């Protein structure tokens, strides 16, 4: 069986699920998709990383001071449970879309660093390929600090980066 790990930034819209079906639903060998969805708000996290690379006030030469560990706001247990429940619902919808298109798919939530988990999961599953589906992050892609660029540096399998469609 051809094993593909799919790291998504947010739950897939119908058009994005169809894009995967167009790529993997026509292969001659049986194909299995294992979908990974971070429980944290991945788009916001990516944007925060990008913001940390720029200056805080937009003034040249005035870098943003690093955030101390005592300044990081931790979610309450209720907030954490709500975020996890939302992520699980999004993963369930995504898997239903993929299965409805005839794909063999399962998945899991990633509570921690998506790239570290991706590397581990690819090794554990003996994956043949990785697909990373994100919104467009022009600056991070230009600087090669996006998920796909990082995955290509650390994985010994092909990595395909697909951009999510803004509308179906």
Do the Cβ atoms of 121 and 5 come closer than 8 Å? yes
Domain range enclosing 17: 1-35+84-168
Could you tell me the CATH number of the domain that includes residue 2?
A: 3.40.50.620
Task: Tell whether 22 is covered by a domain.
Answer: yes
59-83: b or e for each residue (b if 16 or more CB lie within 10 Å)? eeeeeeeeeeeeeeeeeeeeeeeee
Burial 98-130 (b: 16+ CB within 10 A, else e): beebebebebebbeeebbebbbebbeeeebbbb
| pLDDT, tens digit (0-9, with 9 covering 90-100), for 83-128 | 899 999 999 999 999 999 999 999 999 988 888 899 999 999 999 9
Overall number of domains in the chain = 1
Q: Quick check: is 58 in a domain?
A: no
CA 125 to chain centre: 18
What is the tens place of the pLDDT at every residue in 2-39? 999 999 988 999 999 999 999 998 888 899 999 999 98
Residue 67 lies in a domain: no
Q: Tell me, yes or no, if the pTM score tops 0.85.
A: no
């Amino acid at each position: 069986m051809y094993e593909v790990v799919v790291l998504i930034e947010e739950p897939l819209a119908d058009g994005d699920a169809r894009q995967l079906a167009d790529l993997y639903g026509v292969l001659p060998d049986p194909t299995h998709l294992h979908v990974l969805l971070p429980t944290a708000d991945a788009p916001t996290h990516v944007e925060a990383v990008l913001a940390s690379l720029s200056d805080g006030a937009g003034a040249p030469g005035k870098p943003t001071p690093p955030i101390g560990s005592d300044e990081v706001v931790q979610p309450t247990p209720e907030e954490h449970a709500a975020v996890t429940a939302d992520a699980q619902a999004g993963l369930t919808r995504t898997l239903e879309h993929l299965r409805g298109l005839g794909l063999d798919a399962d998945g899991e939530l990633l509570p921690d660093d998506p790239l570290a988990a991706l590397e581990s999961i690819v090794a554990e599953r003996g994956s043949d390929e990785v697909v990373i589906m994100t919104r467009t992050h022009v600056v991070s892609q230009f600087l090669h600090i996006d998920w796909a660029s990082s995955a290509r540096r650390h994985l010994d399998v092909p990595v395909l980066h697909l951009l999510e469609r803004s509308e179906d």
